[in-house]
Amino acid sequence: MSRGLFSNEAEFGILGAILRKPDLFDEISSKVAVADFHDLENAALYQVMIDCNAAGVPIDVVTLSDRRQNLPSGQPTIALASELAMNVPSAANWKAYARIVRERAVLRQIVDAACVINDTANEERPLSEVIAMAQQATADLRDLDDDGQQDYYKASDILPAVIDTIDAKYKKTMPTGLSTGLEKLDELVRGLRPGNMVVIGGLTGSGKTILGLQIAQHVTCKLGGSGLAFSMEMTKEELITRGLASIGGINLSALDSGELEDDDWPRLTSAAGELMNAQLFVNDQAGMTVARIRSIARQCQRREGLSILLIDYIQLISAESSSNRSLEVGKISTALKNLAKELKIPVIVLAQLNRGSTNRPDKRPRPSDIRDSGQIEQDADVVILVHKDMESEEGQNGITELIVGKVRHARVGSCLVQQQGKFVRFVDFEGQPPSNEEVEIGRSSYASKYGKGRKDYE
């Protein structure tokens, strides 16, 4: 094996550092695993150290030898431990040794993964199977970028930044989060915050995709941010066509058929100009896994910077294995929440709902209606449910309720928006909402109280 794939000197340095300064063990063991050692003797000695610590026994030459007399080669444990204790001059550089050992361990994993991929390719299997095997082989590779992160922080170290943030928000010099572009929704969720997973749930045809894309377009076209949208349902051309309809206020059917009116062309030109200048990136590949989404998102963030990430939708993400579907979707959900924290941006995740809400008298969905896994609701920082009752006059006229069923930093609530179907967008509702009495007796008649814009409804 190439010398570049391991470093005995660094492995000796870690073991010697623990022997010279045993109180470093907890910190070192949180960063280096037994599997990171290349040399079997070194790995065995490190395992003995772990065993001693777990048993509450002090780590030194004698206790290690007492715990295990001989290493795999037959060499006495006391011999190697004594040599390391004497020959490692200082424990001060243990962090450098640990990074070297971890780097070489990951390099070996990469080589092993490449061998698996090569063997699979040479077996003349279908290309899709080779790609799936490659993704599986590389899924467990650890990310070295996390190595320099501090494991814990003292409250007093965090406090100044928190106070500065609160002061900036008080003075209105710092937004609480990204705007959705809908005033009443912003009042409820108080902005889309970095590190948050925002789940937008709805039944088929409710408008959850419209809302998700509209938010991404608002962030990139109006706020000057950068966004990446993964769509596993629509093609990239369909996404951009919808963007032109939404931004330009152009009938989507006219764009599809090419039967544009004279006054559509200026709006189309204006919308195309906005999208041309926007930092909006799309991916329409089918069969995406979380590992692939994470890889592309990280790459896009490094190259372009990212303000927001949109995934349409979670139940279409391919699982790494074919085990219990609920468990797999739960793992996908947790991975997306971790991705939001890692990228430090809001991640909008669209999700299908089951049809349980249609059997309720009010037909209003709840966060627990999210299909396939309750873990999605648990992981989400914000859950927005898109509800349009097509059996009612209001629903048929596009009145849609956005139900904020969960929000960690504010109170739950709901607001009304108007869906402009032919423009594939939502706008703030300008009509008169129903009274509590009307809602309670199920005879709300606010469809007759619409304000302006009725001609835009479908």
Let me know if 203 is exposed, middle or buried by CB neighbors in 10 A (0-12, 13-18, 19+). Answer: buried
- Residue 310 has a pLDDT of 95
Q: What are 209's two structure tokens?
A: 């995709």
- Residue 150 has a pLDDT of 62
Q: What are 236's two structure tokens?
A: 């990239």
- Residue 138 has a pLDDT of 58
CA distances from residue 305 to 192, 253, 297, 308, 345 in whole angstroms, order as listed? 17, 34, 10, 9, 10
- Residue 226 has a pLDDT of 92
Q: Please, what is the Cα angle at 420 between 416 and 424, to 5 degrees?
A: 115
* Maximum alpha-carbon separation in the chain: 90
Q: How confident is the model at residue 386 (pLDDT cuts 50, 70, 90)?
A: very high
CA atoms within 13 A on the CB side of 190: 13
Cβ atoms of 212 and 312 within 8 Å: the answer is: yes
Could you tell me where the beta strands, DSSP code E, fall in 240-395? Answer: 279-283, 308-312, 347-352, 382-387
Among positive and negative, which fits the CA dihedral 342, 347, 350, 351?
A: positive
Q: How confident is the model at residue 429 (pLDDT cuts 50, 70, 90)?
A: confident
Right CATH number for 178-456 from 1.10.10.10, 3.40.50.720, 3.40.50.300, 3.30.420.40?
3.40.50.300
Percent of the chain with pLDDT over 90: 14
Q: How confident is the model at residue 308 (pLDDT cuts 50, 70, 90)?
A: very high
Whether 453 has a pLDDT exceeding 60, the answer reads no
Which range is least confidently modeled, 167-171, 275-279, 382-386?
A: 167-171
- Residue 345 has a pLDDT of 92
Condensed to tens digits (0 to 9), the pLDDT of residues 229-265 reads 998 888 888 888 888 889 888 888 888 888 888 888 9
Q: Which residue has the tokens 């294995």?
A: 321
Rounded to an integer, the average pLDDT of 64-84 is 89
Condensed to tens digits (0 to 9), the pLDDT of residues 128-154 reads 666 666 665 555 554 444 545 566 677
Condensed to tens digits (0 to 9), the pLDDT of residues 397-427 reads 888 899 999 988 888 899 999 888 888 889 9
Q: Which residue has the tokens 């079997």?
A: 40
Domain boundaries, the chain: 1-146, 178-456
Q: Please provide the average confidence, as pLDDT, over all residues in the chain.
A: 82
Whether 170 has a pLDDT exceeding 80, the answer reads no
- Residue 395 has a pLDDT of 80
Right CATH number for 1-146 from 1.10.860.10, 3.40.50.300, 3.30.360.10, 1.10.10.10?
1.10.860.10
Condensed to tens digits (0 to 9), the pLDDT of residues 324-363 reads 778 888 888 998 999 999 899 999 999 988 887 777 887 8
